[in-house]
Amino acid sequence: MPKLFMKAKLRRRIGALLFAVVGLSAGCSHAAEDAAEDVVGRMGTYRTTYDDTLHEVARRFGLGFVELLAANPGVDPWLPGNGTVITLPTAHLLPDGPREGLVINLAEMRLYYFPAPGKPPETYPVGIGREGRTTPIGKTRILRKATAPTWYPTKSIRAERPELPAVVPPGPDNPLGEFALYLDWPAYLIHGTNKPWGIGRRASSGCIRMYPEDIDGLFERLPIGTPVVVLRQPVKLGWIEGELFIEVHPSESQADQLETTGRFKGGSDDFGDAVAKVRTAAGSQANRLDFSAIRRAVREKRGYPVRITRSGLPGSRASTVPSIHGSGLFIDYFCCESWNAR
């Protein structure tokens, strides 16, 4: 495996270890559950070189293409420039769902793996179904596993691409990559890919794609029968050290706009729905909500956690909360990691 991606895997493991250490030592909780369990990873920055592209930076740091675009509006994905500081959205609030097996949030194009109780969760970017071939939502499980899988294109795929053979054997031309997890949904898989630039994009025929190095690390650890939940949550909420955070992702159409134009329209249409969810999550702490921060997060949809409670009020922990820099769109949690090209 290339050294570049071995380093990326090591960085992800360090992030998981930090999650475990902080989770054990934080010792604070809110009415629902322990606050340290609502987030995994930590934010980072990276200073580009003249020949970097955002596709390369995304893979290097375990990110998807669209989520890196959303976190860095205005940066040219093909020529970001020498010395450009890139925000790495490598902190994630956990989805509102079961914390076991695999949970896939289509809205952020990200998979969450929950190992045995007491072990920190892990998260990986994924590619999902494109328009007209969307990945289904619901509960399923891993039905079987295959190394060096053979691909049998469905009739509908061959109708779109009549040049495809009926059977594609293992090898570099096989879009399933080296590992495949077959779900208890006919024709839907979680698999590797021979087109890693499709990770973090709506580019598949409905299957869930992973970077080759990511599924390589997960494959042996996932037994047959592992539960899988696929959901769509563009707005996530979570507590960190007694403060409420929101993480907002672009809609499917906005994600497509980001890919093609680098920007999207309609950023604040769902403000009312978000506020309703925020009030429910805040509970007795609703008097501490910062509605200007909520509106900004919903409008800009940067895809990483932003604090939306105000400190210095009853119930806050101002001395220990993450700091928010600039316009409130970048959090420094568990110490922000900075990386330079090597």
81 vs 313: CA distance, rounded Å: 43
Which pTM does this prediction carry? 0.83
Q: In what order do the strands lie in the sheet with 85-88?
A: 85-88, 44-47, 337-340
Length of the chain: 342
Asked whether residue 63 is assigned to any structural domain, the reply reads yes
Asked whether residue 125 is assigned to any structural domain, the reply reads no
Q: What is the pLDDT of residue 318?
A: 41
Q: What is the pLDDT of residue 165?
A: 81
pLDDT band at 313 (very low <50, low <70, confident <90, very high): low
Helical H segments across 26-177, by residue range: 54-60, 65-71, 155-160
- pLDDT tens sequence across 211-241: 999 999 999 999 999 999 999 999 999 999 8
Cα atoms found within 13 Å of the Cα of residue 272, Cβ hemisphere only = 1
pLDDT band at 66 (very low <50, low <70, confident <90, very high): very high
- Checking if the pLDDT of 305 tops 90, the result is yes
Provide the number of structural domains found in the chain. Answer: 1
Asked whether residue 302 is assigned to any structural domain, the reply reads yes
DSSP annotation of 184 reads S
Active-site annotation holds for 207: yes
DSSP annotation of 326 reads T
The mean per-residue pLDDT over the stretch 265-275 comes to 76
- Checking if the pLDDT of 331 tops 80, the result is no
The mean per-residue pLDDT over the stretch 286-297 comes to 94
pLDDT band at 152 (very low <50, low <70, confident <90, very high): confident
30, 207, 249, 336: the active-site residue: 207
pLDDT band at 267 (very low <50, low <70, confident <90, very high): low
pLDDT band at 158 (very low <50, low <70, confident <90, very high): confident
Q: What is the pLDDT of residue 36?
A: 47
Q: Which of 283, 287, 269 is nearest to 237 (CA)?
A: 283
Q: What is the pLDDT of residue 215?
A: 96
> Which residue has better confidence, 238 or 10?
238
Active-site annotation holds for 335: no
pLDDT band at 316 (very low <50, low <70, confident <90, very high): low
- Checking if the pLDDT of 288 tops 60, the result is yes
28, 30, 92, 191: the active-site residue: 191
pLDDT band at 162 (very low <50, low <70, confident <90, very high): confident
Residues 139-177, buried b or exposed e (16+ Cβ, 10 A)? ebbbbebbeebebebeeeeeeeeeeeeeebeeeeebbbb
The mean per-residue pLDDT over the stretch 157-167 comes to 82
- pLDDT tens sequence across 19-58: 333 332 222 222 233 334 689 999 999 999 999 999 999 9
Asked whether residue 109 is assigned to any structural domain, the reply reads no
Backbone angles phi, psi at 292, to 5 degrees: -70, -40
Q: What is the pLDDT of residue 37?
A: 63
Which residue carries 């009853």 as its tokens?
Answer: 314
> Which residue has better confidence, 202 or 304?
304
Q: Which of 246, 258, 262, 261 is nearest to 298 (CA)?
A: 246
Asked whether residue 28 is assigned to any structural domain, the reply reads yes
Asked whether residue 82 is assigned to any structural domain, the reply reads yes
Query: Identity (one letter) of the amino acid at 29?
Result: S
Percent share of the chain, pLDDT over 70? 79
Asked whether residue 142 is assigned to any structural domain, the reply reads no
Query: Identity (one letter) of the amino acid at 172?
Result: P
Percent share of the chain, pLDDT over 90? 61
Of 85-89, 257-261, 296-300, highest mean pLDDT: 85-89
Q: How far is CA 111 from CA 30, 53, 295, 340, in A?
A: 26, 24, 27, 27
Asked whether residue 154 is assigned to any structural domain, the reply reads no
Q: Which of 278, 267, 332, 331 is nearest to 301 (CA)?
A: 267
Q: What is the pLDDT of residue 326?
A: 32
Domain that holds residue 15: 1-96+233-342
Q: What is the pLDDT of residue 82?
A: 95
